[in-house]
Amino acid sequence: MRARLQASFDRQGMMSTLGAEVTAADRGRVEMTLRHDDRFTQQHGFLHAGAVASVLDTACGYAALSVMTPDAAVLTAGYTINLLAPAAGERFTIISEVVRAGRTLVVCRGEAFADGDPRPFAVMQATMTAVYNQPGLSG
């Protein structure tokens, strides 16, 4: 399962460009990291919410994929993100977990933390879709 996730992750140009890494992956739970980078800031110099959302989305997608059967590919149906504070810091930890999985839809939650702060600065509630037997779609 971990190999399947990593293979899919390695095909994501976006994750490589952002410099994001998978630091842990268990059944239904994924942990990733992201670093501050001036290429991905918003107008006040903090990391752009879109960079954080991209990694939260990916982490939720892989948490969902980790509980799907091996013939499934995962697509994001949608998500809600709340930004509780600016993404101020050097190193961001993103944690996602499956709330409940059906055959087609899997709902996940994600949280983003800055440096050592134990309070999340962003939270996500995401709905992932399992796609079966779609030529060209895997992982």
The CB-of-139 to its own copies minimum distance in angstroms stands at: 5
Residues 48, 61: Cα–Cα separation, whole Å: 20
Residue 7 or 24 with smaller CB distance to its own copies:
7
Amino acid at 123: V
Tokens 């998978």 correspond to what residue? Answer: 22
CB of 70 to its own copies, least distance (A): 15
**How many residues are there in the chain?**
139
- Residues of this chain that interact with its own copies (CB under 8 A) are 8-9, 11-14, 16-17, 37-45, 48-51, 53-55, 57-58, 73, 75-86, 99-100, 102, 104-105, 107, 109, 119-121, 123, 125, 127, 129, 136-137, 139
Min dist. Cβ of residue 12 to its own copies (A): 5
| Non-local CB neighbours of 57 within 8 Å, separated by 6+ positions | 76, 79, 110, 124, 126
